[in-house]
């Protein structure tokens, strides 16, 4: 990958295909895609579309998208929900399902998720269960949702027991990743999304991680580097999803950093003023590499390199970086016990032998995790 001129047009669209047989779909990446969303979505052949968005994104883009769909012959409806992780709830799921039914959306019609990961996960889950499954389109509006949650068909809501524990696999019919929408994204949200970009390099592509180290400023500035980073992230995720759609094997690698990250989100009660998902992932990535180093699996220099890069971007990397505290070791272990990768009560981690050399490590002894977390908390103490 290489740096290219920052200016692009809507015609410079990168297509990433997800070949899943009769559930295959395309991810389109480029600047200005929202301007052609009406015709692209209409081309899927639906007669109606139920748009689901939030109070932040809706006022910016929902009316324009609704008008564009109507101009292309689709009957539309709009449901607007509060912003934030708390919206991924049973109550919101009921609201969206009722709205989709009230809009008389049939199986051949569409639910359109216009927003970040929360809206995409929630609207996708509603699409999966209404009428036992209707089609849906992802129009992700954050970096995190463009490179991660909008791709692969994982949908769901949170429970008081943990994050994303209630959901379904339901593939979208189309993903439109308009990278120009990220121009006005708050810096904190860009950084949070970038943690997922870096993750793909750390899993199995050391060259991509090195490219990110060299070009992350271009991703933030909105140059062609941003389009390439989003597309490459989508290619990486699509390749894993095609191999393991329902996360029975290799797909668990995509959770690098997430066992720690999800535990921290649960401890902070999904309070985005304290911690957003990508920040939890960033801390989790650094912890996963330091844990791997502590077990003698990974060179300490690689763990240091990962932490240095995340810090250079402005991301947290330590338990002490969680505002309001990260909880006790027992609280962290209890939160991890609800992780979806737990099997037979044993903890499964995604660990690494080096940058770009991650692997699934089942049956990690709880006492080793306890000792590592104790050392991390002790190291953070004044």
Spell out a b/e string for 227-253, using b for 16 or more CB atoms within 10 Å of the CB, else e. Answer: bbbbbbbbbbbbebbbeebebeebbbb
* 258 given a catalytic annotation: yes
What would the pLDDT profile of 12-32 be if each residue is shown by its tens digit? Answer: 899 999 999 999 999 999 999
| Whole-angstrom distance, CA of residue 2 vs CA of residue 62 | 35
Q: Can you tell me the mean pLDDT for 341-346?
A: 63
Kind and range of the H or E run holding 362: strand 358-364
Q: What is the model's pLDDT at position 148?
A: 94
Point out the catalytic residue in the list 135, 226, 237, 266.
Answer: 237
What would the pLDDT profile of 266-311 be if each residue is shown by its tens digit? Answer: 999 889 899 999 999 999 999 999 999 999 999 999 999 999 999 9
Point out the catalytic residue in the list 135, 199, 235, 255.
Answer: 255
pLDDT of 339 above 80: no
Question: 363 with 294: CB under 8 angstroms?
Answer: no
What would the pLDDT profile of 121-155 be if each residue is shown by its tens digit? Answer: 999 999 999 999 999 999 999 999 999 999 999 99
* 132 given a catalytic annotation: yes
| Whole-angstrom distance, CA of residue 271 vs CA of residue 65 | 30
pLDDT confidence tier of residue 381, bands split at 50, 70 and 90: low
* 343 given a catalytic annotation: no
* 196 given a catalytic annotation: yes
Point out the catalytic residue in the list 40, 191, 199, 258.
Answer: 258
Residue 379 backbone phi and psi in degrees, to 5:
-70, -25
20 three-class SS: coil
| Whole-angstrom distance, CA of residue 204 vs CA of residue 283 | 19
Kind and range of the H or E run holding 133: none
C-alpha distances out from residue 70 to 54, 141, 195, Å: 20, 21, 37
* 237 given a catalytic annotation: yes
| Whole-angstrom distance, CA of residue 214 vs CA of residue 2 | 10
Q: Can you tell me the mean pLDDT for 194-202?
A: 98
* 154 given a catalytic annotation: yes
Only one residue has tokens 């708390």, namely 86
Q: What is the model's pLDDT at position 249?
A: 87
Q: Can you tell me the mean pLDDT for 159-176?
A: 94
Point out the catalytic residue in the list 40, 88, 135, 154.
Answer: 154
Q: What is the model's pLDDT at position 327?
A: 93
| Best CA proximity match to 151, nearest among 258, 24, 7, 21 | 24
| Residue that wins the pLDDT comparison between 366 and 93 | 93
What would the pLDDT profile of 203-235 be if each residue is shown by its tens digit? Answer: 999 999 999 999 999 999 998 999 999 999 999
Computed over every residue of the chain, the mean pLDDT equals 93
Point out the catalytic residue in the list 251, 290, 309, 340.
Answer: 251
**Which residues, including other chains, have CB under 8 Å from residue 200's CB and lie 6 or more apart?**
147, 208, 232, 233, 236, 237
Question: 306 with 286: CB under 8 angstroms?
Answer: yes
44 three-class SS: coil
Point out the catalytic residue in the list 170, 191, 226, 277.
Answer: 277
Domains recognised in the chain with CATH numbers: 14-184 (3.40.50.1970), 256-382 (1.20.1090.10)
Per DSSP (E only), the strands in 170-219 are 174-178
Q: What is the model's pLDDT at position 344?
A: 63
Q: Structure pTM?
A: 0.91
């Amino acid at each position: 990958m290489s740096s290219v001129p920052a200016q692009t047009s809507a015609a410079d669209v990168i297509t990433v295909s997800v070949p899943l047989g009769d559930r295959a779909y395309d991810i389109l990446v480029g600047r200005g895609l929202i301007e052609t969303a009406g015709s692209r979505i209409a081309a899927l052949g639906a007669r109606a579309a139920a748009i689901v968005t939030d109070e932040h994104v809706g006022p910016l883009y929902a009316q324009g998208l609704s008008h564009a769909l109507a101009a292309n012959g689709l009957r539309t409806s709009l449901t607007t929900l509060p912003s934030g992780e708390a919206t991924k709830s049973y109550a919101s799921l009921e609201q969206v399902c009722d709205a989709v039914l009230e809009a008389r959306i049939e199986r051949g019609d569409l639910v359109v998720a216009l927003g970040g990961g929360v809206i995409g996960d929630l609207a996708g889950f509603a699409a999966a269960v209404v009428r036992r499954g209707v089609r849906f389109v992802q129009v992700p509006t954050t970096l995190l949702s463009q490179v991660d949650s909008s791709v692969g068909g994982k949908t769901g809501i949170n429970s008081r027991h943990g994050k994303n524990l209630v959901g379904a696999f339901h593939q979208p019919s189309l993903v439109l990743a308009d990278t120009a929408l990220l121009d006005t994204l708050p810096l904190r949200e860009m950084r949070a999304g970038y943690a997922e970009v870096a993750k793909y390099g750390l899993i199995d592509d050391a060259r991509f991680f090195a490219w990110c180290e060299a070009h992350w400023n271009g991703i933030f500035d909105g140059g062609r580097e941003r389009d390439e980073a989003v597309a490459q992230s989508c290619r990486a995720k699509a390749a894993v999803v095609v191999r393991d759609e329902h996360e029975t094997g290799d797909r668990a690698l995509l959770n690098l950093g997430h066992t720690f990250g999800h535990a921290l989100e649960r401890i902070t009660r999904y309070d985005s003023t304290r911690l957003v998902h990508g920040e939890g992932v960033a801390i989790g990535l650094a912890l996963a590499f330091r844990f791997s180093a502590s077990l003698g699996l990974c060179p300490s220099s690689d763990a240091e390199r990962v932490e240095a890069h995340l810090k250079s971007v402005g991301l947290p990397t330590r338990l002490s970086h969680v505002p309001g505290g990260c909880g006790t070791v027992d609280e962290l272990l209890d939160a991890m016990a609800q992780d979806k990768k737990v099997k037979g009560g044993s903890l499964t981690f995604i660990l690494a032998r080096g940058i770009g050399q991650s692997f699934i490590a089942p049956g990690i002894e709880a006492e080793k995790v306890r000792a590592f977390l104790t050392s991390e908390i002790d190291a953070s103490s004044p």
